[in-house]
Amino acid sequence: MVNVAIIGASGYTGGELLRILFHHPEAEVTVATSREYKGKPVHYIHFNLRGLYRGLIFTDVNLDLIAKKSDVVFLSVPHGASLKYVPKLLEVGLKVIDLSADFRLKNPEDYVKWYGYEHPYPDLLSKAVYGMPEIHRDELRGANLIASPGCNATAALLSLIPLVKFNVIDLHKIVIDVKVGSSEGGSKPTLSSHHPEREGSIRPYSTEGHRHVAEVEQELRYVSGKDVKASLTPHAVSSIRGALATSYTWALKDVGEVDLIRMFTKVYAKEPFVRIVHKSPPGHPNPKYVVGSNYADVGFSIEARLSLIKSFAAIDNLVKGAAGQAVQAFNIALGFKETLGLELIPIKPV
């Protein structure tokens, strides 16, 4: 049994980690931190967990306690906060899975460009493994520091990997549109994320370049071995959960429907959590049909007169886009069956 600590366990992603790990046969959550709710039971804020985690109380972050009571630490904290914890946790021999952006990018200069700070641990950037199993499964085995991907980047990458892998599109002309539910904004409302402001709206944001595109370009360069240029614009929609990426790419040669079916099948046929949706109901990927699960539904269409390929990926932004993908990487790193604790069937209707 692996003992697990969750730093930042009171937010939406922390709650999903608790929900998923409760059913994991090889993991036990021994520490759950929250500065705001320390001293309270976890169900005080995660009402859906009432009666499940008996005796588990939120604590403040105490690295000595975490080192004593855990083997693996999940960090579910805001960008920038992981920097003060990760080096110390690694130093005492713990495995770390960081769900923030603090160790996702390999080039330290990208942190200045996209996040506005100079990264203090460039040596750790080279050691961190980007936690997307569909790209880095082999590197994840035995990894000590895993940088879990962002939800927008996850959906975008899953829609694009087959097209990039088979070199059929212009790699300098990739346009990505991501529609994402309000839970992406976290559990603390802002003026733009507060429900009365968001309900009924469809609002683009970060239109001059969303920072998750840095992950997308980095990982597509890894897949293709070539330079990649992409634009990503997220749109806030009034649904609570789910993200849908629609990627627009231009074909370099004649590509037909059968060709794309073969490409997507070759890349994803053995992936335990990627399902290809093409024409048969519901027609195209829809986040509604993956809610609560670690599944990603992918698909495509061709607008032949423009040599335009549209590829799609639908995920639950809190599961495959966050907690579920982190647990999937945890399973691989620890040598467990990859699907342990994640055999959650999407719920319908929602």
Q: Tell me how far apart the alpha carbons of residues 104 and 102 are, in angstroms, rounded to a whole number.
A: 6
Dihedral over Cα of 7, 236, 244, 128: its sign? negative
Q: Tell me how far apart the alpha carbons of residues 203 and 190 are, in angstroms, rounded to a whole number.
A: 15
Find the catalytic residue in 143, 151, 157, 296: 151
Q: What angle do CA 253, 258, 263 make, to 5 degrees?
A: 75
Q: Tell me how far apart the alpha carbons of residues 65 and 307 are, in angstroms, rounded to a whole number.
A: 58
Angle between helices 324-334 and 133-140 (to 10 degrees): 30
Q: Two tokens at 33?
A: 């931190």
- Determine whether 151 is an active site residue: yes
**Residues acting as catalytic residues:** 151
